[in-house]
Structure 1
Amino acid sequence: MLPSLTLQPIGFLRTRQRVKFQAGHQPEAAEEETNVLELLPECGYEQALQDLAGMDRVWLLWWFHRNDSWRPLVLPPRGPSRRRGLFATRSPHRPNPLGLTAVRLLGVEGGRLLLGPCDLVDGTPVFDLKPYVAAYDAFNDSRAGWIDAVDAELRAPAQFAVVMSAHAETQARWLKESWSVDFSARLTELLARDPSPHRTRRIRRRGSTQSEISCGAWRAVFAVDGTTVTVIALEPAYPMKFLTRPGYDDVPDREAQLAFLARWPAGG
């Protein structure tokens, strides 16, 4: 048994998704989105891309480069707050954090592959890509155990109605128009299904009457009354002292957060 193996990336993904919250747990084929896989130059990879024309999808084999630990039991983001065996999930917290994603191939430009929606964040190392062949790769009648049960629940109508307060609506509109930051759809999707505290969905109590959900570089404060979830305010996920600390220029949406705190000093 080999004590270790060495892998070298063939390229890196470039996308606007800089934090995990922005990347859906599974890519949605219907969404309009273009990502770029930039292959390393001077490695002969451009010739290896020959004959990809006419293929609708490719498999990406990649690395969860932001994870450095694994857990035998994990809490999936979908479904009830119940831990599952790691190997029965697609959790990133794995002994060898390899990811596998089938993604639409939109085109090839030299050493760049134009890809559709995917669940990878910017800078993800990609080790290999292979053609998706429906005759061999799709088994539509296969059972998926607990995932089938959760999917059936998700197909049911949402249990909660999500509304934005006038204050939160003003903040969301300002973020979208001034900084092209818009996480309202994803926020609504998560809260409409289940706004209860959940570690993986990053929802926690905030005092006795409110809760908060982390949305990548942002947070939303909300309250639940029966089946109505009211988003009270939005706020940066990072405090001012962190955003202004030397050497932290690469914080996601840093400039937008600083401008937000200048406009709403209390953070919400």
Structure 2
Amino acid sequence: MDAIYSSEQIFTTVVVILLIGILYSAFKILREYERGVIFLLGRFYKVKGPGLIIIIPFIQQMVRVDLRTVVMDVPSQDVISRDNVSVRVNAVLYCRVIDPQKAIINVEDYLQATSQLAQTTLRSVLGQHELDEMLANREMLNTDIQEILDARTDGWGIKVSNVEIKHVDLNESMIRAIAKQAEAERTRRAKVIHASGEMEASDKLVSAAEKLAAEPNAILLRYLQTLTEIAGEKNSTILFPLPMDLLNGLLNKNKQ
């Protein structure tokens, strides 16, 4: 009797453990940012969640999918620009799953696939632009890369929300060349500004000469003003220009 009783206890214990295991595997709790892709005998059934869901053990299987935005670091890539300059560029990618069914069924590892696609797209897009565009038009390049990635990952149920180029690393020789180019550009601007100033000054001088020529006594007053300014500096020698009209008048008187 004791043996039979012990066997019944063992059998009951095993049954209770099996029931607890079945119930544990049947009830699943999904967080607000999670979804469960349910397969029925290996075939896609539906997407469930969030909250408490029930699946049939051994018949249905569930794969959890995180819907939160993933920040993915794109490793540094060696890029040759359109003007044959070698640079190293790295970026950061923001993406999230918007269709759990496609993310699980259409691609084996959607994060790894998105990362590899981002690296190749970064190289191909930047290779179509010159170095100056990489340094000055990052916003345009970010938008181009984001639109290409978003279109290509749409079949995987992935939404690429943003791409940001972080660093464009140049070698020392290219940095020196850029510095020389910037210095030459500043010198060119200085010469253009100086020439423009000379042009404006010449226009003002012509206008002043026309006004002085209209009134003969005006030039004499200007001479006297200049003499007063020179005398105030206490110079030992004063060179004062003599008007040609005065000389002509003296010469005419001598001839008479």
> Shared topology, TM-score over 0.5?
no
Q: Which has the larger radius of gyration?
A: 2
Structure in which a larger fraction of residues adopt helix: 2
TM-score normalised over the length of structure 2? 0.19
TM-score normalised over the length of structure 1? 0.18
